[in-house]
Amino acid sequence: MWHDVLQWSLVIHVLLIGGGLLTLVLIAGMLRQDRSPAASAAWLAFMVLVPYLGIPLYLTFGTRKLAAIHARKARLLFEPARPAGSPQDDPTRPFLQASGLPPPAQVDAVRFHADADEAWQSLRGLLRGSRTSIDLCVFILADDAVGREVLEILTERAAAGVRVRLLLDGVGSFLLPRRRLRALHQAGGRSAWFVPVLHRPLRGRTNLRNHRKIALIDGRRAWSGGRNIGMDYLSPEHLSRWVDLSFEFDGPAVASYSHLFEADWSFASGEAPSQGLPPPAPASDQGSSVQAIPSGPDMAQDVLHDLLVSLIADARERVVVVTPYFVPDEVLQTMLRLAALRGVAVDIVLPRRSNHRLADIARSRSLRRLSAAGVRVWRLPDAMLHAKAVLIDHRFALAGSANLDLRSLMLNFELMTLFRGTDEVTRLSEWVEALRQRCEPWRPRPVGALRQTLEGLVLLAAFQL
């Protein structure tokens, strides 16, 4: 009996020592990371006070930057030729160049899709017209009529000898039955899951999701934006109550997006990146250009967040934000508030009710503060607004996959496109203005202590919304 007690005492002693050492190692690693003191203090208290719960949760959700992925991607993507100089009237060039992003590159044509039906016809036509390759990265591939038709087209093109690679997010496309991919695999197409829900510990963190949306056709045409693949995003407008934004383009700029897909595919599949990709070439001073703005755990800095801060600080006439979820950090809130106070017209366009109730609750406190500073808030009353766009004066426009919330800006793998061309900024401005005309103005109402407490509680989990 005493022998058994001694054995159990020894086991418990070893577990306590091992747990203590593991906690110290994790805390040391956490303190080396670039995160806010408040977030570090919260994780520190959680791991010390409730170690058996805090440590597993930290291992699952605590890491925000993945150095190994960044190092691999830097070798593949972030070593392009640099432009000789930066125009004086473009404050983004020096910052983005210092951040290591590919330079702006030439596009032969950019086409914004007017509605879901046009976007669907475009994507379907591009996929069916492929001759050599299809690289498709999407957050959600729905198990519905649109999703199944896309899989049928991919299978058909793979059987015809086209190289097909389908990159799906492990959480976003979790509900897609794996059997739906069998025909594609049998035809020679390939698929990979970006950090599946169940995965090896060193293959990323479950809360770090690939939210990018990009289709690359034959290495020369690109289709991108905020749309996932499913009925909500791509069915004709009379069948869907979702409003979204997507676009397509061709030309040398596609090379930057190909490099980005290649890096993501390499991480998800474990394969070495393909060789022989053309380097992202800088744009000339003539014609239109676009610039890929990837952000996420695979990058050393929060480039998209910092770019937004820089653009808003430099705005002189207007700032327009279109987003389904609005949960910015204090820095972005402050920049938007200061822009409004110095006379810049600041407009925020949101859905009246989004598909995430907690995000709607979380946005209220920020909107009240900004409205008090003169920011105008518009709500789309009759549809779920899923589009993501930012307009700065009449010089710059951003569109793509990132919402203006903490999860998109700090945790997700995202892809925005920066437009500088007058034609592209004008067309996107016209699309946004037509959307705003459908909206109703929002005015804050007094809220009680209970509502403020609820908002505070939801904001504690804002990173995970």
pLDDT of residue 452: 87
Residues 280 and 345 in one domain: no
pLDDT digits (tens, 9 = 90+) for 196-248: 776 555 555 666 789 999 999 999 999 999 999 999 999 876 677 899 999 99
Residues 248 and 395 in one domain: no
Residues 267 and 314 in one domain: no
Domain's final residue, options 226, 254, 285: 285
Does the pLDDT value for residue 321 go beyond 90?
A: yes
pLDDT of residue 103: 85
The model's confidence at residue 79, banded by pLDDT at 50, 70 and 90, is very low
Residues 41 and 72 in one domain: no
- CA within 13 Å, CB half, 274: 16
pLDDT of residue 63: 61
pLDDT of residue 241: 82
Residues 21 and 120 in one domain: no
pLDDT of residue 461: 72
Kindly state whether residue 168 falls inside one of the protein's structural domains.
yes
Q: How far apart are CA 335 and CA 339, in angstroms?
A: 6
Q: In the 3-class helix/strand/coil scheme, how is the chain assigned residue by residue?
A: CHHHHHHHHHHHHHHHHHHHHHHHHHHHHHHHCCCCHHHHHHHHHHHHHCHHHHHHHHHHHCCCCCHHHHHHHHHHCCCCCCCCCCCCCCCHHHHHHHCCCCCCEECCEEEECCCHHHHHHHHHHHHHCCCCEEEEEECCECCCHHHHHHHHHHHHHHHCCCEEEEEEECCCCCCCCHHHHHHHHHCCCEEEEECCCCCCCCCCCCCCCECCCEEEECCCEEEEECCCECHHHHCCHHHCCEECCEEEEECCCHHHHHHHHHHHHHHHHCCCCCCCCCCCCCCCCCCCEEEEEEECCCCCCCHHHHHHHHHHHHCCCEEEEECCCEECCHHHHHHHHHHHHCCCEEEEEEECCCCCHHHHHHHHHHHHHHHHCCCEEEEECCCEECCCEEEECCCEEEEECCCEEHHHHHHCEEEEEEECCHHHHHHHHHHHHHHHHCCEEECCCCCCHHHHHHHHHHHHCHHHC
pLDDT of residue 329: 93
Kindly state whether residue 167 falls inside one of the protein's structural domains.
yes
Residues 133 and 157 in one domain: yes
Tell me the pLDDT of the chain averaged across its residues: 84
Record the pTM.
0.85
Q: How far apart are CA 231 and CA 227, in angstroms?
A: 10
What total of structural domains would you count in the chain?
3
230 phi, psi to nearest 5 deg: 175, 175
Residues 8 and 110 in one domain: no
Q: Which residue has the higher pLDDT, 68 or 311?
A: 311
Pairing of the two strands 246-250 and 109-112: antiparallel
The model's confidence at residue 21, banded by pLDDT at 50, 70 and 90, is low
Kindly state whether residue 292 falls inside one of the protein's structural domains.
no
Which residues does residue 423 pair with via DSSP β-bridges, in sequence order?
Answer: none
Indicate which CATH number applies to the domain containing 440.
3.30.870.10
Kindly state whether residue 97 falls inside one of the protein's structural domains.
no
Q: How far apart are CA 336 and CA 348, in angstroms?
A: 10
pLDDT of residue 460: 77
pLDDT of residue 44: 61
- CA within 13 Å, CB half, 444: 17
Kindly state whether residue 203 falls inside one of the protein's structural domains.
yes
The model's confidence at residue 122, banded by pLDDT at 50, 70 and 90, is very high
pLDDT digits (tens, 9 = 90+) for 386-416: 999 999 999 999 999 999 998 899 889 999 9
Residues 55 and 73 in one domain: no
pLDDT of residue 85: 47
pLDDT of residue 84: 42
| % pLDDT > 90, the chain | 59
Q: Which residues of 293-314 are buried (b: 16+ CB within 10 A; e: fewer)?
A: bbbbbbbeebbbbbbbbbbbee
Task: Please compute the mean of the pLDDT values over residues 134-152 and round it to a whole number.
Answer: 97
Domain that holds residue 158: 67-83+105-285
pLDDT of residue 80: 45
Q: Which residue has the higher pLDDT, 421 or 384?
A: 384
pLDDT of residue 457: 83
Residues 54 and 73 in one domain: no
Among all residues, which ones are annotated catalytic?
A: 211, 213, 218, 386, 388, 393
Domain's final residue, options 230, 258, 285: 285
**Residue 182, both tokens:** 């069998």
pLDDT of residue 71: 46
Residues 144 and 277 in one domain: yes
Kindly state whether residue 24 falls inside one of the protein's structural domains.
yes
The vertex-170 CA angle with 169 and 175, nearest 5°, equals 105
**Residue 100, both tokens:** 């290591």
Which residues does residue 194 pair with via DSSP β-bridges, in sequence order?
Answer: 169
Q: Which residue has the higher pLDDT, 393 or 35?
A: 393
Task: Please compute the mean of the pLDDT values over residues 94-112 and round it to a whole number.
Answer: 87
227 phi, psi to nearest 5 deg: -85, 135
Q: Which residue has the higher pLDDT, 351 or 460?
A: 351
pLDDT digits (tens, 9 = 90+) for 270-294: 888 776 566 655 555 556 889 999 9
- CA within 13 Å, CB half, 257: 37
CB 294 within 8 A of CB 78: no
Residues 44 and 131 in one domain: no
Kindly state whether residue 403 falls inside one of the protein's structural domains.
yes
Residues 183 and 258 in one domain: yes
pLDDT digits (tens, 9 = 90+) for 363-379: 999 999 999 999 999 99
| % pLDDT > 70, the chain | 74
CB 211 within 8 A of CB 73: no
Kindly state whether residue 233 falls inside one of the protein's structural domains.
yes
